Amino acid sequence: MKRFWKNAAVRVFTAVLAMLAAGSLLSLALRGNTSPFTSAVGLLTSPLQGLCASLAGYAKDFAAYFRSSAALQEKLAEQQAQLDSLRERLVGYDDAKQKLSTYEKFLELKTENPDFKFAEASIIGLDTAGQFGTFTLGRGSASGIKVLDPVLYGKYLVGVVAKVELTTCTVETILNPHVNVAVYETATGEIGVANTTAQFSRQGLCAVPQLPRTTAVIPGAIICTSGRGGIYPKDLILGTVTDVIDDDQNVSAIAVVQPAADFAALRDVFVLIGQ
């Protein structure tokens, strides 16, 4: 308690209250008189009374500010909740749109090949440490998936299953140098084996090497699976030729191919099972 009264701010505030009280008493006692003493008292107390009125006004405004600030915070929280809800709905819409696109492309392939059996799967993981687009699917042997099952996006060849667990599997894409696909060019019928190199893969490209220097394959040509080898069924689209270059190592030519599948945009794919 002693420490409280030693506080300078408390002592000043107490003195102000005492002066106000004294001024009020003197004003009541001398009401109706206009003596110099009364005038002096009024002159002394008027500024203090004005200060108190101002302080009261400030206190009222301060309370109103906090009430309006609380209301504003409540309104902002309400709008944020609405925004979060819209974002969740938009994500759901995007997922549904992506799946619809996947099934539309799949339906065309299924219509042309009614005997094909598929397992639809979502990509649940990417090999960020690698450069060849390897990814993990949320389906495995429990869904009938086996090693060397082709992975498709509609009629586009994506890759092949390389490893299988009970509920997941690992897919190596056609951007992996380990993957070789027997192909043909649709206009000329020329055949070859599509694969890639580390250099081509970094550019998101495949290649069909060992073509004759006199090849009729030109940029814009379509490269499809030939069905040879028994892994990939015939007429899956691998991609489009962007360039034909000479092989520096021998007298052959190389067709550089841009894959048809957009690997960066893939979310859902189909695994061809039961072959």
* SS3 of residue 117 by DSSP: strand
First to last CA, the chain: 92
Question: What architecture is the 119-174 domain classified under in CATH?
Answer: Beta Barrel (2.40)
Cα 26 to chain centroid distance, Å, stands at 76
Residue 150 backbone dihedrals phi, psi, to 5 degrees: -70, 145
Question: What single DSSP character describes residue 143?
Answer: G
Task: Return the CATH class of domain 181-265.
Answer: mainly beta
Low-confidence ranges of the chain (pLDDT < 50): 4-5, 10, 28, 32, 36-37, 39-41, 43
Cα 101 to chain centroid distance, Å, stands at 19
* Residues facing residue 152 across a β-bridge: 157, 270
Q: Which two tokens stand for residue 142?
A: 């429990």
Residue 37 has a pLDDT of 47
- Nearest alpha carbon to residue 258 among 187, 182, 215, 200: 200
Burial status of residue 102 (CB atoms within 10 A of its CB: 0-12, 13-18, 19 or more) = buried
Give 124-180 pLDDT, tens digit per residue. 999 877 778 899 999 999 999 999 999 999 889 999 999 999 999 999 999 999 999
